[in-house]
Amino acid sequence: MTTKSAGASAKTVAITGGARGIGYETAKALIRRGHRVAIGDIDEVRAKDTAAELGVDVVTRLDVTDPESFLAFLDLVEAELGPLDVLINNAGIMPTGAAHQEEDAVTRRQVEINILGVIFGSKLALQRMLPRRAGHIINTASLAGELAVPGLATYCATKFAVIGFTEAARQEYRKSGIQLSTVRPTFTNTELVAGTTGAKGLRNAEPEEIARATADLIENPRPFVRVTRLAGGVIAAMKFVPTRLSTGLGSALGADSVFLEDVDTAARQAYLNRIRDN
């Protein structure tokens, strides 16, 4: 793997959910840019395999829903790599289906990982960064956190919450020297969308695109970035049209069925089993 030599601009970056998907590609992109990277993931075996492949020296099992586990992860990062410069709260899950049929345990799991994990991590990172008046917290949200998608009611709720939390905290700490940002991907070709077809006329993103956008945010901080540009533009535009029209456009793009009727449940089963087991 070709990497830049780490210089004065190299940062210590901790990534949650770093064993696969967007987290894996983000770790790879940051290593190539010369940053010091640590990954944590609930799947310890996969995390260690990823670390060995990428040359990551700091890797551990991380349960983002457990503040003590998160604390231990960040302690390890700082002990091995130095003061934490960037935390990327990337871990998340996305079950699909009708809201009334969703098992309570699945609902709770989404809230714990997608919301509480982000909040716990952000608080712990802030406690380290505020005395230094420097640092950056990047929370992986979703375009589904800006525009509701049928079949993803709980997931949308969690991503709306991530955006709201991050924006409120960004304003709260705007004079502190700490940056807070969200990355808002469209549906991305990882395990999360296994067995689904995506919206009509809008391609899914590739995880490398989200990784690149996240790496760019570290170098040029701003409140948020939407990926892809086309999907982000559509979402932004739909906020300025009447609800009936935006709902009709969503239906025309297949939003009414893509995560309800058009799901290949067999193709999603391995993913669903993994997120339940972990």
Task: Give pLDDT tens digits for 67-113.
Answer: 999 999 999 999 999 999 999 999 999 999 999 999 999 999 999 99
The SS3 call for residue 200 is coil
Q: Is the per-residue pLDDT at 5 higher than 60?
A: no
C-alpha closest to that of 136 among 223, 206, 65: 223
Residue 173's alpha-carbon distances to 28, 126, 169, 177, in angstroms, are: 30, 9, 6, 8
Asked if residue 118 lies in contact with residue 141, where contact means CB atoms within 8 angstroms, the answer is no
Q: Is the per-residue pLDDT at 1 higher than 70?
A: no
Q: Is the per-residue pLDDT at 17 higher than 80?
A: yes
The pLDDT assigned to 51 comes to: 97
Q: Is the per-residue pLDDT at 268 higher than 70?
A: yes
How confident is residue 128, by pLDDT bands cut at 50, 70 and 90?
very high
Q: What is the pTM of this model?
A: 0.92
Q: How far is CA 6 from the centre of its chain?
A: 25
Q: What percent of the chain has pLDDT over 90?
A: 74
The pLDDT assigned to 4 comes to: 45
Task: State the angle between helix axes of 207-219 and 21-32 in degrees (0 to 180), rounded to the nearest 10.
Answer: 50
**10 exposure class (CB count in 10 Å sphere: 0-12, 13-18, 19+):** middle
The pLDDT assigned to 209 comes to: 97
pLDDT digits (tens, 9 = 90+) for 131-159: 999 999 999 999 999 989 999 999 999 99
The pLDDT assigned to 7 comes to: 47
Helices (H), the chain: 21-32, 44-54, 67-81, 104-110, 117-129, 153-172, 207-219, 229-238, 243-252, 265-277
For the segment 191-220, the average pLDDT, to the nearest whole number, is: 91
Asked if residue 64 lies in contact with residue 39, where contact means CB atoms within 8 angstroms, the answer is no
For the segment 239-252, the average pLDDT, to the nearest whole number, is: 81
Q: Is the per-residue pLDDT at 250 higher than 80?
A: no
Q: How far is CA 194 from the centre of its chain?
A: 17
DSSP code of residue 5: P
Q: Which residue has the tokens 């009414």?
A: 256
Catalytic member of 24, 155, 173, 271: 155
pLDDT digits (tens, 9 = 90+) for 22-56: 999 999 999 999 999 999 999 999 999 999 999 99
Q: What are 152's two structure tokens?
A: 């993803």
Q: How many Cα atoms occupy the beta-carbon half-sphere of 165 within 13 Å?
A: 23
Lowest mean pLDDT among 12-16, 150-154, 192-196, 216-220: 192-196
- 271 is an active site residue: no
Q: Cβ–Cβ contacts within 10 Å for residue 38, how many?
A: 27
How confident is residue 176, by pLDDT bands cut at 50, 70 and 90?
very high
The pLDDT assigned to 200 comes to: 75
Which residues fall within 8 angstroms of residue 275, CB to CB, at 6 or more apart? Answer: 93, 95, 109
Q: Is the per-residue pLDDT at 214 higher than 50?
A: yes
Q: What are 131's two structure tokens?
A: 């005395």
